[in-house]
Structure 1
């Protein structure tokens, strides 16, 4: 009987834990919640990449990661209130992105997005297949 009770309690505990984990997985957090004092983390870099690619301010971005490898970036467009979600994953200093349910931007005609930290600033660059590029710099204070 004692073993049955222990098994039941263990099972209930696992269900409660998994329920909380599932709720946390659906919750987007402001990027400042993940901030590292000295450098930039994947949440901040993902937010900066989508802000750069979409031409939006980085401080409206919300970021979550379920598995630590794919980062979902959501923002509400101020002009019309529509909500947009993109995804990012890392390959060294390259950041591959796509829309939430769309393809990853890895086609040879797609822009290649990379990042680096220079003099304490995060620099995101998107290079296009025609050789042109755009870059945007971010400071830690931009993520608040």
Structure 2
């Protein structure tokens, strides 16, 4: 093979390698984003992400779920949306603001008060908050403390309407009539 033929072959091989590397990177990023979304959607039963965040904040702060309000949801990054919540403390009327996102079975949160920027609680010494759903209607929030102890609280789907993922309920053929009936009774 001539010297010119070798250069063309090496040039093509280099471009082919670069092309494959770019495609590989794009595909792996898309696959990971899809896996996280699929895992999150499938492991939460009929609970909404906002409801799981509200139940988590209520558990951590020792507050009743009924006082938590979901303010809005913003697009996040590859980890998914960020939910903003607050509650008004009954004894003094002070407002407490939080941000929350779900990554697989973990709740990542931070305060969101105007006087404190509120870092995401991801440090190795921070509490680790996880959730699990059983029978699609029972949500358990588990708070694992850095000293090895933990506490948990379980919520039923029908404890508060904010817990329910209404889109998923409407898409379900198996449980929809029963859940829609209970959902409608909560709305009244």
Fold equivalence (TM over 0.5): yes
Cα offsets for 1:88-110 (capped at 9, x unmatched): 01110101010012101111111
Cα shift at 1:39: 0.8
How many pairs are equivalent?
107
CA distance in 1, matches of 2:151, 2:93: 27
Q: Based on CA coordinates, which of the two structures has the bigger radius of gyration?
A: 2
Name the structure 2 match of 1:95.
Answer: 107
Given the two structures, how large is their TM-score scaled by the length of structure 2?
0.54
Consecutive aligned runs of 4 or more in structure 1 exceeding 6 Å deviation: none
1:106 aligns with 2:118: no
Q: What does residue range 41-120 of structure 1 map to in structure 2 within 5 Å? A: 41-63=48-70, 64-67=72-75, 69-100=81-112, 101-119=117-135, 120=137
The root-mean-square deviation of aligned C-alpha atoms, in Å, is 1.3
Name the structure 2 match of 1:40.
Answer: 47
Greater percentage in strand: 1
What runs of 5+ residues in structure 2 fail to find an aligned partner? 1-44, 162-188
Name the structure 1 match of 2:10.
Answer: none
Cα shift at 1:113: 0.3
Given the two structures, how large is their TM-score scaled by the length of structure 1?
0.70
Cα shift at 1:66: 2.3
